[in-house]
Amino acid sequence: MNAEITDYTAFRAALEAMDKPRCVQLARQLLEANAHDIVGLYTKILAPVLNSMTDSESGHPAAIWREHVRSGIVRTVIECCYPFVLAERAARQTTADKGKVVIVSPTDEFHELGARMGSDFFTLQGYEAIYVGANTPKAELLQGLALEKPAYVVINAVNFYNLFKIKKIVAEIKERLPGQRILASGNAFYHDPELFRQIGALAVIRTPDDIRQLEEEHA
Amino acid sequence: MANAIELSGINKIYGTAIQTQVLFDIDLAFEEQSFNSIIGQSGSGKSTLMNIMGTLDRPTSGTVMIGGIQTSNMTKNDLAVVRNETIGFIFQFHYLLPEFTALENVLMPYLIKHNKPTAEVRERADELMELVGRSKVKNNKATEMSGGQQQRPALARALIMTPRIILADAPPGNLDSDTTEIIYDILRQVNGQFKTTFIIITHDRKIAEKADRIVEIRDGRISLDVTRPMI
Ligand SMILES: Nc1ncnc2c1ncn2[C@@H]1O[C@H](COP(=O)(O)OP(=O)(O)O)[C@@H](O)[C@H]1O
Ligand SMILES: [Mg+2]
């Protein structure tokens, strides 16, 4: 069997069993053995395993409960990867010299693992990623942006209802902080290639390649 | 999928001496069998738009197609026929006629057209009361029910003529949120079972975010129109 599939299967089994120590241990082993880099671990294992499990359990009475427990486990795994993120950046001889990137989700957006993974992609790419997290009120975001003056702010949405709110937030950022570059990310955006433009963002970010492409276009 | 309702170039101006334009060049189509919500601040033009969609009001300019039929040149009577055969309205979820039982209320749209319900229609009314979870109180008079208790029979009443399209204009803050979720689940079930197209004006996030598509109206224009991502 292909090694990648074996790793996926092993991690899936551990997450299925909600075995947090095992999940953390597996992820560390994969990184230590260079079986995967951070991007590979996140995009080929963590995200797809979590998504596949959410799908296969939908309708189950405890589906949401389990999804939350598993999201918590995956969050722990991601946080445990941070030393590896820094090591990988050092190995690439990259430093955080491209400026700050603030990553947030608006009020009532509680899905944040995608955004949290994305913040590590920015770190790897040479940015100082400031991950603010889920459920960030607009007033605090505006204050934070004025303070940090980031190169980019990434606004994340998984629930499509939050797009309406984000459109208003983007308009207000543009009014109060002219020149602030605003990016969109999250599942609410990916199915419709025009959405990020409609809410007023510069681009939509889904992969490390999108970050690189952004740099080429807006260098 | 064909469109259940298609609006093109809709403008609405109220008044003659003092004119106020409340809708501006709206193009909007809803697919058959889809479940949609319309949101927007109070006064943005949602109810005006829905009245035009339901042919209860005419636009100042622009066209309205219902199930592929152009309604602009229809007479009032012809419009009424199209409407009665195609569209169910839920302007408020509650308010049954007080002197009748819940079941009689459910049968009312049929009784207005025909004198006596057929066995088939009675059976359908019973099924609908079952669907909305109110079989036990079907013979209670409306006066014996609270506003909240009237909501579900009123929903059954909107469904009795098997409309292809349901237009709902839910007033803000009308329902407590538990009831809202139950009503929503029933609407979704009707959508799945009878393939009814739903267009619901709502101020309730819980309803809006469970639709397949959300259209926001702002100052008489569509400000954002988004569809639910497939997971
Ligand atoms: N019959 C009418 N005559 C004049 N103005 C009206 C009439 N109905 C509504 N309006 C005005 O049109 C605007 C939109 O109203 P409406 O469609 O009821 O908005 P919403 O349902 O979004 O609250 C409001 O400014 C309202 O005052
Ligand atoms: Mg209204």
For residue B175, what pLDDT is reported? 59
For residue B92, what pLDDT is reported? 58
- Which domains are present in chain B? 33-58+75-227 (3.40.50.300)
For chain A, the structural domain boundaries read 3-90, 95-217
Residues of chain A under the 70 pLDDT cut: 1, 219
The atom number, within ligand 1, closest to the CA of B45 reads 17
For residue B172, what pLDDT is reported? 58
Residue B169, H or E segment: strand B165-169
Q: Is the dihedral of CA B206, B185, B30, A186 positive or negative?
A: positive
Compare all CA atoms of chain B with the CA of A158 and give the residue at the minimum distance.
Answer: B229
Residue B208, H or E segment: helix B205-208
Place of tokens 């010299």: A97
Residue B60 CA to ligand 1 centre (angstroms): 14
Which residues share a beta bridge with A102?
Answer: A130, A153
Position A107, amino acid: T
pLDDT in single tens digits along all 231 residues of chain B: 899 999 999 999 999 899 999 999 999 999 999 999 999 999 999 999 999 999 999 999 999 999 999 998 899 999 988 888 899 888 655 578 989 999 999 999 888 888 889 999 999 999 999 988 889 999 999 888 887 778 888 889 988 988 999 999 876 555 566 677 787 888 899 999 999 999 999 888 888 888 999 999 999 999 999 999 976
pLDDT digits (tens, 9 = 90+) for B27-51: 999 999 999 999 999 999 999 999 9
Task: Please report the ipTM that was assigned to this predicted complex.
Answer: 0.84
Coil vs helix vs strand at B219: coil
For residue A57, what pLDDT is reported? 73
Residue B75 CA to ligand 1 centre (angstroms): 25
CB contact under 8 A, A192 and B226: yes
Quick one: fold of A95-217? Rossmann fold (3.40.50)
For residue A54, what pLDDT is reported? 75
For residue A18, what pLDDT is reported? 95
Alpha-carbon distances, residue B141 vs A64, A96, B7, B149 (angstroms): 40, 72, 40, 11
For residue A187, what pLDDT is reported? 94
Q: Which of A164, A167, A189, A197 to mutate to test the interface with B (most CBs of B within 10 A)?
A: A164
